[in-house]
Chain A
Amino acid sequence: MRYSRLVSVEHWKRWVWSFVRLVLIVGLSFLIVYPILQKISTSIKDKEDLYSPIVVWIPLHFTWDNFKQAITIMDYWETLANTFALSISTTILTAITCALAGYGFARLKFKGSNLLFAGVILTILVPPSTILIPVYLNLKDFTLMGLIPLLTGKSANLLNTYWPFLLTALTANSLKAGLYIFIFRQFFRGIPKEVEEAAYIDGAGIGTTFSRIMLPNALPAIITVLLFSFVWQWNDSFFTTTYLATGKVMSVQLASLPYNLSGITDGVSSRSDPFYLSMVQDTGILLAILPLILMYFCVQRYFVEGIERTGIVG
């Protein structure tokens, strides 16, 4: 009798805990999803539903007008193609160079490699705004240590081109690249040395060992870095709005959206309804993050599992 009561107390405790957990998780999930849901609801509303007190989530007058407006203002399809091209190219270049550097730091020790790795840590820690101005001036008069004026007679202005992003990606110094090098280094350190030695005894050189043995083993790390790098490049407003101020890229378009919006109502900004503008703005944000969300739900399984094995932890 006593025994069964004890069991039931345990049972009761577990039930309460799972209830509390359910409430917490559902509540917090709602908090995260809420802005997205609201944007979806706003973007399909008609103008007249804005002031209607009975419309909260589901609109009475369903319309695609907001989407049409936002697409024309943001020049959406061109922007989308540009952003994709920029993000994919920098992502792939960053992943390659960071993997090389990470492997070099993890396994191919040379004199001073620890000192250089301290440099990697420094790039993670220094706020980007500290070095932004010199880099900006440098890119405006890009000489590559006097090489470019030698060839063409004058320095190149790389602002408002994709070169700053491609060059930094090519040299593993793009946005948050220090973090990716760190991830790769930790991961490669986790792969047993014996694997490498076996490959060497079988006659594989260092390049072959890296490309045929280490890289396939590092797939989780590669996926994590690819995803982080793609998403952060896509969303980055800090560098993109500075280097590519007039470019047709998603984050630049988003940043100038409030300004561009004021032009949509016959050019007379005082006549335009701020709520309507805000509605179109929300639609624009939704359009900007929609590709990312779709992509995320396709790959989130790899994302969640991938990082568990990347060895940031180790």
Chain B
Amino acid sequence: MKSIRKPRLSKMDYAQKKALWGFIYVLPWLIGFVIFFFVPLLSSLRFSFSAITANSDGITVKYIGLQNYVEALTINTSFNRVLTESIVNIVVNIPLIVIFSLFLAVLLNQKFIGRSVARAIFFLPVILASGVIMNLESTSLVQAINDASSGAKVVRSLQSFELEKLMLQAGVSGWGVDYLTGSVDRIYQIVSQSGVQILIFLAGIQTISPQLYEASKMEGATGYEAFWKITFPMVSPLILVNVIYTVVDSVSSNEITDLILDTGFTAFNFGLSSAMATIYFLAVSLILLVGGYLISRKVFYYN
């Protein structure tokens, strides 16, 4: 009797011990979460409802209700425009980046000479795509001069112009044509933002068991069919992951965050800046919710 009871007791202890250690392991994160995230988040919310004046004694916070939100949405000259631009930009780029990175992951998964070199190059944007470098690059005069003198820009715009005409004549709707040619023009932006997504898709494709492809080949499926019937459903959970990652990645630094920072640190209007940040956060969560809902309905889980 005793010998049966003893292990059960010690197992209880083990579970408790595990819970205790779990709390200890999570504790550093929890402290940081409270100090550097949760309290700031709450005070950001509080700031957005207040007028803040900074003087030599520190700052005084006075409750003024929704005034900051009203100012951001109706009085501030650039907020509405920049917000819609940034949001539209994110929404437009999501499908492009996800489709492009899935396509490239499939390509990079095939066997060909120089595959490891190609992979190394395609993951390079993970390193290079960062705020400062991208910003400075767009202002580089030497690059602009080189592009102009080599005629690259002229040729490029001519090509998408031709393409546009061709597609419009073929009866594709004007909106779709704009979207496609626009994406051709923004190819560099898309390539440089899809490094991590390619990695995630590639990892996912490699976990698909080869038996599935063998069986489909036996049944006479073409590569195209195998992609839509096997690869696509199997990586569909990762599409969700990648959409979320793309949104999170692109919200962290764009024109709207610049505007928020400017309002806060150049104009020292902390209240207005917090209100803008809150509106921005709400907009981003709306995108994530809608996108997540739409995609998770289509996602296929193997097990």
Contact = CB atoms under 8 A, between A and B. Distances in A.
Contacts of B188: 31
Contact of B44 (A28, A134, A274): A134
A238 B134 CA distance: 13
Contacts of B248: 124-125
A8 B265 CA distance: 68
B157 interface: no
Interface residues of A, number: 103
Contact of B127 (A177, A231, A307, A314): A231
A22 B204 CA distance: 23
A69 interface: no
B232 interface: no
Contacts of A111: 19
A28 B36 contact: no
B41 A285 contact: no
Interface string A275-312: 10111011001001100110011001101100111101
B285 interface: yes
B185 to A, nearest CB: 13
A133 interface: yes
Interface residues of B, number: 93
B69 interface: no
A269 interface: no
Given A133-B44, A168-B32, A33 B121 contact: yes
B281 A126 contact: yes
User: Main secondary structure on chain A at its contact with chain B?
Assistant: helix
A207 interface: yes
Contacts of A255: 132
Interface string B5-47: 0000000001001111111111011111101111111011001
B140 A282 contact: yes
A135 interface: yes
A177 B281 CA distance: 19
B23 A104 contact: yes
Given A21-B107, A42-B142, A236-B130, A29 B121 contact: yes
Interface of B: 14, 17-26, 28-33, 35-41, 43-44, 47, 58-59, 104, 107, 110, 112, 116, 118-128, 130-133, 136-137, 139-143, 145-146, 149-150, 187-188, 191-192, 199-200, 202-204, 206-207, 238, 241, 244, 248, 251-253, 257, 260-261, 264-265, 270, 273-274, 277-278, 280-281, 284-285, 288
Interface of A: 18, 21-22, 24-25, 28-29, 31-33, 35-36, 38, 42, 50, 53, 56, 97-98, 100-101, 103-105, 107-111, 113, 116, 119-120, 122-138, 141, 144-145, 167-168, 170-173, 177, 181, 200, 206-207, 210, 228, 231-232, 235-238, 242, 251, 254-255, 257-258, 274-275, 277-279, 281-282, 285, 288-289, 292-293, 296-297, 300-301, 303-304, 307-310, 312-314
Q: Return the 10 tightest CB-CB contacts between A and B, nearest first.
A: A171-B32, A108-B22, A235-B130, A104-B25, A173-B32, A134-B40, A278-B141, A110-B19, A172-B29, A101-B29
